[in-house]
Structure 1
């Protein structure tokens, strides 16, 4: 534990650093640590507008408050922290009085996680669309000026598990594992509708903090002052990066911004920041790249602060793809089963589904049915889903049912018009020729005007296949079933 004087100095630094800026958006959440209290404000609304129990999937956490209209994202602030050790973490959000000495703020919060940073997943997308639900939240009426996780320092009341409309402004402790990422959303309900920011003090608590406040949360996250890598969608609102989130706070003389658009280690451009010292950078879609901020301090100690890893911002568009037929009668000697690969145009995180089935991550589908099929590609970053894309697999069905219901009433080679010089002959099981097919009509299961019985029948398909520019005669003999 640091000496009292040192802690007070850190507190004053936090006060100066945080009172001038805020992140209203999950994507640019401010990295924080537990080594000193944090002075915060809420002065904006982000793009996650469905934090509402009437809209988002309802959970015990979201139903805890007695005033459902409080559960909105407006006049908010976002923070992100990484557990430094295994143990117990909580926090206090303390309302500060206005200049007139009156506390008018009504603080609420939600905690999302734990997230694994190594997965490369876009956490704020799954927070925004409701896939990731808060694991702790409280928007009950505050009667002590405090809300948070752990124990209310005013009345000693300990946070409890979900009890609907419990009116306890504290939630139960977080049991964390080192390396886990958590996002903290703080909302000022009383000023949601007039955009009047007010201040609070955020102090982390718990046994991990009691043991060592310098390691309870991973303070190296704060060195990544531009935040975690951001995945966004083309057409999303501008992303504002702030160099005010550094450990030096407002001790800034100048900020130099650069970008590596290809993320190949080569700086492509120098950019101009906005605001005091050029400390903010507006990044618009679709300018993907790794962005860096180099800060020259006003005090000269240290002379510069540079986030060596920068922040990678990637904008994804609505996905599209190319269909590659691996195995069918046109592209290989394989007649059954038929296999297809989908090659996406882009480098997003995609999943695929064919013919209304379940999505899968693997772009290769085995045993695809012959004939016309449809594929849908979905961007798991939340940037959209394609319309169904039709594709044809040239092959033959294993059965047909000529019962007049309009479904599988005729047998033919699907996509036969894609073959070169095709001819199809139908035989019974004894080798008797029953039909030379009309390519456009197929076979209706009759011979000389009489319905043939349910049985196995044989066919011979002759066609020419292009083999590296040379047409090679091919012949396929297989059987299929007539089912009545």
Structure 2
């Protein structure tokens, strides 16, 4: 029989979407002899089976199929439920050969056999060439198969599939020599890959709804086919059963955007049909971006702080469309929607915003028949505030001349404080700005004082302004730095602590006065003296400076001493171990190495003090070897005296002790094994099946275990050893092929040998109950497929398995030759 897969795909798709059918009048026409798959039967429907039902049933949950015979021959089929559960019960009824919905005629085949009641091997049903009966059922009567029909071209039959018990879907495979009519096809012309229709909203109402000419797809669908009709539907179900066709296909107004339309092509004579779908959508012009920003400037108004500037609307368009191709677009801007709707008063190409900082205008884009408008925000971003700052630096040379080194970044705060978030760069002149030639981070001034250009950039907006920084070289007499050291605070470690400035040991004499200042500028000007000299928090992380000014009233001279506040870092160590240090209780002679985990490069110069469970032990090395669980601590001391403590927790571990192994077998490829350990197995374990040196898993559970003899391995991930145990998983082969090729030549129970399950025996029978063979206890050889020395034919054979543990298993297997 021929197969036409397009019809198969369409029907399968609709049935997976809960197809709705009104019994006989909406029966599915079977075309192309294609098999059905994924069908479901739901709903009682109208009880139409009143014509001499011979198998004792009626409609429960049904699907109606109409069979129009195209070629004479035999007609058979096999109905296969998706679920192999024997409780899934399918029945069927067949009427014909000249059946109509008003006159179904005489019932030709009727099967209501229950597969569970008859203890069948499966729940299949249908017509085949080996059966001779034409009716069976209900309940235990019959074997679910009836004889094929002899059919003649031009006959019409109805097949009603009924499911009185169960919820499974099903499939149908057609057999025999008869054939059905071919369905029409969607014969799209060469180069046409889609029936989708896209239009602009041109009906005068901006609601994403507009008329579509669906009929434009009809010649594309029919192609060169004749005697066919094309209809369009809103739902898949309507397209399948051929109901509720769209009437005004030349002027159909969509109700959704996008909307799916379902097309049905049907042969006017055979009523074979095919379905497809396409999308209709209203595609108006979209605006990816709805704002355009520039920086305030002096162009045209000589004012870069008023929030107003000239916008180049061509650039605004590029911003709005994010660089997309605008070929074919006509774009204009308007102050309001009314002007845009009436195409009046378009904005000039260079537009000066009248609303400071941000003004909303209307963009109108036209491409072909499509027109769209949107609000666009024109934003004028402010420039960073302009400032004139002063930077004082002391000249430390023997002959100070005011020419000295400035660390320019120290002046950043003068500009970033009033302008949070900006970036700062320094230039000698505007020419250097234009050449992108900034000053180095440490810059030696060339004149004293010297103004430099400060470029202030807002990274969020890209706006730039220019300020001035005046560099002053201080030539007052300054002595070498006084250095005060402190250690960083553990737990904080950000380079900040407090200093007692009196530790500088500056002692005024003979009427001198002493004061401390935060900056050299303040020391020079004697402004804002420091008051909390005994607990002064350093203002900059790790390295800060304060200035001590000594005034001598008699000689009218002063001395400024710079005090360097140095916060020394603590040792850079991993304070807490990661919990992966273990000693094996079963290996008391093995030691592990733990160390101070110093991340600094010069840890060899450090001092180390170790303790165990709070008691010091005399070790001063970077690492120590231990073999006892507990808490180890090491104090790491840098040459500066700054210290930090690391804690290492050492945990006990041990190799596993297998308490029991649970085996679930004879489950046909779902055998499972669960390894149970004793409570004393305190390690971190991984499990493997049959591969001591291969991959291990975290779970103690194995599924899909093949029948046979296996070795289970349990490995302590902490290195304390691997243990193993031999197990047997019973399995029953479903077939064997005694053909002498050395593969599957014997049928035997897997997992039985001279050690495991040796008391197991098997009794083998043919399908008629005749005793064939016993595989006795202690016999691991199996059955070779013979009886009294003669080979038996290919067939199903039955067994009774008496297991050593008392279980009795019954089933069947196949002998294949």
Could you say which TM-score interval applies, normalised by the shorter chain? 0.3 to 0.5
In terms of Rg, which structure is larger?
2
Using the size of structure 2 for normalisation, the TM-score is: 0.24
Output the TM-score relative to the length of structure 1: 0.38
**Higher relative contact order (CA closer than 8 Å, sequence separation 6+):** 1
